[in-house]
Amino acid sequence: MKVACIQMCSGLDRSRNTQDAATLIREAAGEGAELILTPEMTNIVDRKPKRLFSELPDESGLEEISTFASLADELDIWLAIGSLAFAVSGQGDHQRAANRGYLFSPDGKQVNTYDKIHMFDVDLPDGESWKESAIYAAGDMAAVVETPGAKIGQTICYDLRFPTLYRRLAQAGAEILMIPAAFTYQTGKAHWESLLRARAIETGSFVMAAAQGGDHEDGRKTWGHSMVIDPWGEVIEVKPDTRPGIIIADIDLAKVKKVRQQIPNLKLEKMPQITNISVL
């Protein structure tokens, strides 16, 4: 199977971002990609809530969905949109958006959605601070989608730091773990590749990680370096920079079965009792 990750630097204009994504998706399909993943927040990257919600419709008014569905149909590809933002509830300071991933089949059918579960609420060493839970509503469900080519598990960005989610997806049969992201430059430089390779190794899965990269209009800077990693933890394709573009990789899903047979850790589940010992 030939897969592709799209790397973007999404800005404040949803229409322009959608067109940029479509251009790169067409390029990847033209190179033979059958399964294509775009990054988190494909349609808009904006850290200012008031500005974000001033132009953000609810899901029924999100034209991007039909655009990407039609593109999957036209190009005859499996298309995973890492995530789109849209308004879901509330007013003023209580308004919330969804951070939702979409999977479209080659006939343009929307076969699954996934709402990011773990919110990026952090205070980083350089003083950078984020509180996604103040803007986005967290999801609480994950699924494995069985397609004719592969069994796929969808996640988003900060989920990457929670290995139990990926273990559960792999135990449910996922062979490809999708991790679209908008990692900050600081955390990406420190942890992106290490975490991605760890999730692949722990689960014996292929990892597709499509990233945002570069200096965004809202002032943030993201790490880029989109990757495809095999079940042994080897990076088989990487975009070695923050610039928009694509990476293409050929993957052999037989390697998933082989690695899981060699190291059958998904079948083991021993949870020790933890005792606190205080030495005064």
Output 280 or 191, whichever has higher pLDDT. 191
Res. 146: pLDDT tops 90: yes
Whether 9 is a known active-site residue: answer no
| Dihedral in degrees, nearest 10, Cα atoms 265, 267, 271, 272 | -60
The pLDDT value given to residue 110: 98
Could you give the C-alpha distances from 70 to 7, 80, 105, 164, 271, in angstroms and in order?
21, 13, 10, 35, 46
Catalytic residue among 9, 34, 64, 116: 116
- Identify the band that residue 37 occupies on the pLDDT scale cut at 50, 70 and 90: very high
Which one of 151, 157, 237, 239 is the catalytic residue? Answer: 157
Which amino acid is it at 102?
A: Y
- Is residue 271 predicted with pLDDT exceeding 90? no
What type of residue is 234?
E
pLDDT at position 233: 98
- Full-model pTM: 0.96
> What local confidence, expressed as pLDDT, does residue 91 receive?
67
CB 137 within 8 A of CB 89: yes
- pLDDT (mean) for 206-217: 98
Three-state SS for 117?
coil
**Ordered domains of the chain (ranges, CATH):** 2-267 (3.60.110.10)
Residue pointed to by tokens 């951070």: 99
pLDDT at 97: 96
Note whether 209 and 5 are within 8 A (CB). Answer: yes
What is the rounded average pLDDT for all residues in the chain?
95
Query: At residue 47, what is the residue type?
Result: R
157 in catalytic set? yes
For residue 59, indicate whether it is catalytic: no
Segment 72-125, tens digit of pLDDT: 999 999 999 999 999 997 766 679 999 999 999 999 999 999 999 999 887 878
Residues of 59-73 as b/e, b for ≥16 C-beta within 10 angstroms?
eeebebbebbbebbb
Please pick, among 34, 40, 175, 237, the residue that the annotation labels catalytic: 40
